[in-house]
Amino acid sequence: MAGQLEGKKIAFLVADGFEQIELTRSRQDITEAGAQVHLVSLQSGEVQGMRGDIDKADTFTVDEIVDEVSASDYNGLVLPGGTLNPDGLRVNDKAVDFVRDFFKQHKPVAAICHAPITLIEAGVVDGRTLTSFPSIKTDLKNAGANWVDQAVVCDEGLVTSRTPDDLDAFCAKAIEEFAEGRHAEQTA
């Protein structure tokens, strides 16, 4: 995977309460593949990671705030999960617009665990096949998605996975899609 993403810039969008391993592992793999990564959040400073949605883990320094960046600045987007994180993102208009713009620009997006909640708010799951943490299956179906129970699903540049147990497959498929670049069928 080394060098596969040379020259690519990938955004990781999070709010407080993200599942830490879903950020750290995917960021490590994507960085090792050669990409430059930016941690984007709702405000400057630090964001709080969690272990299993219960225990506070580490804090991470924000590189960019969502109000000051654009999807056009990046080649792809990663949305780590956790239950609090996507809930914080989906009520922020700038964050939702940022996510939607990746789809409008046909750029790959990778979302794991509860992160597809933000995709629902962005209006980009109707007619798409994806997976997620099982507790949001009904939410995704009600938004028009075809939900399947698989470790990783790729639908025209949209990569989704269920839990941290799926990180091997998630990271590999996300890197592959980021390397491929734009997907004509990746639309909002």
Distance CA(98)–CA(149), nearest Å, equals: 27
Any domain includes 3: no
| Model pLDDT, residue 2 | 65
| Model pLDDT, residue 172 | 97
Any domain includes 14: yes
CB 41 within 8 A of CB 85: no
- For the chain, 188 residues long, give each residue's pLDDT as a single digit of tens: 567 999 999 999 999 999 999 999 999 999 999 999 999 999 999 999 999 888 999 999 999 999 999 999 999 999 999 999 999 999 999 999 999 999 999 999 999 999 999 999 999 999 999 999 999 999 999 999 999 999 999 999 999 999 999 999 999 999 999 999 988 777 76
| Model pLDDT, residue 187 | 76
Any domain includes 1: no
Any domain includes 125: yes
Residues sharing a CB contact under 8 Å with residue 7, sequence separation 6 or more, in sequence order: 34
Range of the domain at 145: 9-179
Any domain includes 4: no
Active site residues: 113
| Model pLDDT, residue 1 | 53
Any domain includes 77: yes
Any domain includes 130: yes
CB 149 within 8 A of CB 4: no
User: Rounded to two decimals, what is the model's pTM?
Assistant: 0.96
**What's the number of domains the chain is made of?**
1
Any domain includes 98: yes
Q: Domain with 119 in it: what CATH number?
A: 3.40.50.880
